[in-house]
Amino acid sequence: MKVIICGAGQVGWQIARHLSGEKNDVTVVDSNAELVRRATDTLDVQGVAGFASYPDVLERAGAQDADMIIAATHSDEVNMVTCQVAHSVFSIPRKIARLRAQSYLTAIYSDLYRRDHLPIDVVISPEREVAEAALRRLAAPNAFDTESFLEGRAQLLGIALDDDCPVLDTPLRQLTDLFSTLRTIVVGVRRERRLFVPSPGDQLYAKDQIYVCAHTDDVNRTLEIFGKSQTRQDRVIIVGGGNVGLAVAKALEARPERIRAKVIEKNRTCAEHAADALERTIVLNGDGMNMDLLNEANVAKADAILAVTDDDKTNLLTAVRAKSAGTKMAICLVNDPTLVPLLDPLDIDAYISPRATTVSSILRHIRHGRVRGVYSIGDAEGELIEAQVLSTSPIAGQALRDVGFPEGVIVGALQKGDKVVRPAGGTRIEEGDVIVIFALTDDVPEVERLLQVSIDFF
């Protein structure tokens, strides 16, 4: 597949890394020649320096025979014009654009992106993706990572194992026997910063970070088995009243259970806008790092603080102050991946990466086969892929034990009709089944091969 990626920032670079690693023909375009040079020096990609919306720049990037263009520059307008030029001048069949401004995303204006208007096939909104990720973190406060699959029937949970975890030093096959009715599978283990897919004889140790696929009805029981109690988040403080913080506050207001949320926003205009848009949520104007303001928000009794300003260091320091004052849980928005190793020493419970959520959204729309969902694990270490099994896929009609999955691949959940089942070696995969697969990054191309027979996605 020939792909042009416009924008060589964090998102564009990660998408290029994924696609070039899977032997696609990738060209990166950016007006910053240094970013283009970084991409071509570190990845197996071609590069063109120039403005992505210029027809001659796209022509140099090979737009004449490209299969897809991904517009992920920092400008919404450049991304939109790039897709228009790709359609009108070069007839590129698939166009994906990242758009941040909420005005472009309002449902009543959705006709704007029809082919006879502004032809964009897929619109990705980082702010909406991040807000949804934040709400998932709040829903599973004792998991450092979470994502839902199979239309909400299954959930990925990232769980950090403590010294008091009751199932340490127990082979995984014994856990299967002990909890035979539990619809949960350990699909990944990160130990000493290395992520791997465990075998049935492997044991779990304190300080391990594990990823499990669980039936939604079994999430609470799963957390208890791994030493985590499920608690409700009744009092939430949101630091940052921009698009992300406002979206989270609105979603919390809409929930049937009453959640007492407070928003702290430094910019007065932004704070006034948030106050007008919210009904029950208290909005405080001031610096989230100010201890007096945090005390005014009753930080000592808060169940969770969600720091989602556009400054990583503000988010980290606010979370640290809140935890030291008594807040039970701290969640941070972190753009810079090099800051992630600091979270554990700083006692920050979970983080949200806008880059990772945006990359996952884009990957969902560029995978071959009937891929319905993709979630990027860690720093692009692996992926959780949800896909429908095609009639002529190599895995259709086979028992799981007979499929030649690589060592870095494991099936985490399987949906047959309306029923989600726990996959076992004798489980037969049939046409129409929906399968959730955990795969290390190097093994993703083989998973794609097993899921498809042709590029029917296009």
228, two tokens: 């985590």
For 342-365, the pLDDT digits (tens) are: 888 898 888 888 888 888 778 777
- For residue 453, pLDDT beyond 60: no
Please check the confidence at residue 109 and state whether its pLDDT lies above 70: no
Question: What is the pLDDT at residue 454?
Answer: 41
Q: What is the pLDDT of residues 304-331, one digit of tens each?
A: 999 999 899 999 999 999 999 999 989 9
Residue matched to tokens 């030649």: 404
Confidence bin at 108 (pLDDT 50/70/90): low
pLDDT above 90 covers a percentage of the chain that reads: 49
- Domain match, 333 and 378 both: no
* 134 and 120 belong to one structural domain: no
φ/ψ bin of 299: left (φ > 0), alpha (ψ from -120 to 50), beta (otherwise): alpha
Domain boundary among 124, 141, 156: 124
Q: pLDDT averaged over the chain? A: 88
What pLDDT, on the 0 to 100 scale, is given for residue 268?
A: 94
CATH number at residue 137: 3.30.70.1450
C-alpha torsion sign, points 27, 32, 33, 36: negative
The answer to whether residues 11 and 119 belong to one domain is yes
Task: Let me know: does 25 contact 1? Beta carbons within 8 Å.
Answer: yes
CATH code of residue 63:
3.40.50.720
In-domain check, residue 458: no
Sign of CA dihedral 313, 318, 319, 323: positive
Residue 6 lies in a domain: yes
Q: What pLDDT is attached to residue 8?
A: 92
Q: For the chain, how many structural domains are there in total?
A: 4
For residue 230, tell me if it sits in a domain: no
- Whole-model pTM: value is 0.72
Per-residue pLDDT for 378 more than 70? yes
pLDDT (mean) for 291-305: 93
For residue 292, report the phi and psi dihedrals to the nearest 5 degrees: -60, -40
Domain range for 141 = 130-225
Examine residue 154 and state whether it is found in any structural domain, yes or no: yes
Q: Residue 456's pLDDT is what?
A: 40
CA atoms of 34 and 55, how far apart (whole Å): 21
Residues 288 and 312 in one domain: yes
298 plus 375 within the same structural domain: no
Kindly state whether residue 457 falls inside one of the protein's structural domains: no
Under the phi-then-psi rule, with left for phi > 0, alpha for psi from -120 to 50, and beta for the rest, what region is 338?
A: alpha
CA atoms within 13 A on the CB side of 435: 30
Identify the domain boundary among 308, 334, 352: 352
User: If you average pLDDT over residues 127-133, what whole number do you get?
Assistant: 84
Name the percent of the chain lying above pLDDT 70: 96
Same domain? 54 vs 118: yes
Report how far residue 87's alpha carbon sits from residue 64's, in angstroms, rounded to the nearest whole number: 11
Q: Residues 221-245: what's their mean pLDDT?
A: 87
Q: Report the run of H or E that residue 274 belongs to, with start and end.
A: helix 268-277
Output the pLDDT for position 458. Answer: 34
Q: Which residues pair with 333 in a beta bridge?
A: 352
Q: Which of 260, 438, 228, 198 is nearest to 350 (CA)?
A: 228
Averaged pLDDT, 363-391: 79
In 43-156, which residue ranges form alpha helices assigned H by DSSP? Answer: 55-60, 76-88, 126-139
Residues 214 and 251 placed together within one structural domain of the fold: no
Q: Are residue 199 and residue 313 in the same domain, yes or no? A: no
The residue written with tokens 């880059």 in the block is 355
The pLDDT of residue 457 is: 37
Give a yes or no: residue 135 inside a domain.
yes
Residue 297 is assigned to a structural domain of this protein: yes
Domain-terminating residue out of 124, 151, 169 = 124
Q: Which residue has the higher pLDDT, 416 or 458?
A: 416
Mark whether 134 and 114 lie in a shared domain: no
> Which pLDDT band, with edges at 50, 70 and 90, does 51 fall under?
very high
If pLDDT is split at 50, 70 and 90, which confidence band does 376 have? Answer: confident
Of the candidates 112, 46, 129, which has an alpha carbon nearest to the alpha carbon of residue 359?
129
Instruction: Give 383 or 111, the one with higher predicted confidence.
Output: 383
Q: Are residues 296 and 408 in the same domain?
A: no
Pair (143, 109) in one structural domain: no
Q: Based on the number of CB atoms within 10 Å of its own CB, is 49 exposed (0-12), middle (13-18) or buried (19 or more)? A: middle
Residues near 232 by Cβ (< 8 Å), separated by ≥ 6? 257, 303
Do 258 and 339 lie in a common domain? yes
Structural domain includes residue 456: no
Average pLDDT over residues 134-142: 81
3-state secondary structure of 243: helix
